[in-house]
Amino acid sequence: MLAVLNKPYPFNSDLKHNAKIILFISVGVLAYIVFLMPIDISLFTKKEITYLITGLTVSTFVMLSMNLIVFPSLVPKLFDNSRWTIKREIIWNAWTLVSTSAIYYLLYSFVYGVIVMSVFDIFQFVFLGLIPVSALIIINYNRLLRTNLKTARQLNNKLSEGKLLKDKFIDFDSDYKKDNLIIKSDSIIMIKSADNYIEVYFEKDGIVKKQMIRNSLNKIETLLREYDFIFKCHRSYMINIHHIKEVQGHSQGYKIFFEGIDFPALVSQKYIDDFNKII
């Protein structure tokens, strides 16, 4: 149970979005009180009823503003999204319920001079306090659902695009036409500069093969620019990150090892930060 409570939970720290939520819920509470009248006010004057309805609406707005905007702005570390958990979300919702219900009770007592209330009266105020809290939970749930669905669609699109790129054929032109090479992009393991040539290491039928092509690494880099899984890691090397077997550190950067190739590609200091981001 404790493990579940300590699981990460996204805190809604979008202040602009929260301001819209506060206004929406406050208007909703006003409509609920006016049209459904959850509290017995039959013995009160119209002036007292007006004070109560206005006070409850304003109280809702103020308490939600304090809990969703003011407190997170004053102590942002406490509401750090990376540290927010299910347990904290439950505690915070409980606090919002208790504080809002307490304000409703104090307002009612102030307007009507009622201090001692029955259990049923207290239940009515707690129930009234549940309205904004329940609305917050529902809105937050729908926000998370929309966000996750949107992210999932984007990831699926990215996966589809990545699959299309991996299945796409690349035509390596050579100054000598007989050396031309056409292979799938994902079969490329590594490309190494060798004077006026490049050495293309690729996989075919489970076997690593090499072909020399008269071309420059700079031209090949331009050719492969759209393939984000093929990365220039050194002035003499381009690698396919999908085929990396092992990474070793050394004084000048990294050494990258591949299955079936008996020497490593190098990652120079210039490219280390970019390499770390894509791995």
User: Does this model's pTM top 0.85?
Assistant: no
What CA–CA distance (Å, rounded) separates 126 from 94?
A: 11
Q: Are strands 237-240 and 265-268 parallel, antiparallel or unpaired?
A: unpaired
Neighbours of 22 (CB within 10 A): 22
Do 195 and 118 belong together in one domain? Answer: no
- DSSP 3-state helix, strand, coil percentages of the chain (rounded to 5)? 55, 20, 25
CATH code for the domain of 180: 2.40.50.1020
Do 150 and 196 belong together in one domain? Answer: no
| Tens digits of pLDDT across the chain (279 residues) | 567 777 777 777 777 888 888 888 888 878 777 777 666 666 667 777 788 788 888 888 888 888 888 888 888 888 887 788 888 888 888 888 888 888 877 877 776 665 566 666 667 667 767 777 777 778 877 877 787 788 778 767 766 666 666 678 888 888 777 778 899 988 999 999 998 899 999 999 889 999 999 999 999 999 998 888 899 999 999 999 999 999 998 777 899 999 999 999 999 988 988 888 887
Do 135 and 199 belong together in one domain? Answer: no
Q: Is 240 exposed, middle or buried (0-12, 13-18, 19+ CB in 10 A)?
A: buried
Do 39 and 141 belong together in one domain? Answer: yes
Do 29 and 120 belong together in one domain? Answer: yes
Do 57 and 192 belong together in one domain? Answer: no
Tokens 């992210």: give the residue.
151
Domain residues for the domain of 270 are 170-278
Q: What is the DSSP string of 225-242?
A: TT-TTEEEEETTEEEEGG
Do 45 and 177 belong together in one domain? Answer: no
- Domains contained in the chain, number: 2
**What does each C-alpha distance from 192 to 66, 91, 223, 263, 277 come to in angstroms?**
61, 58, 15, 11, 22
Do 156 and 224 belong together in one domain? Answer: no
Do 147 and 177 belong together in one domain? Answer: no
Domain termination residue (choose one: 162, 185, 204): 162
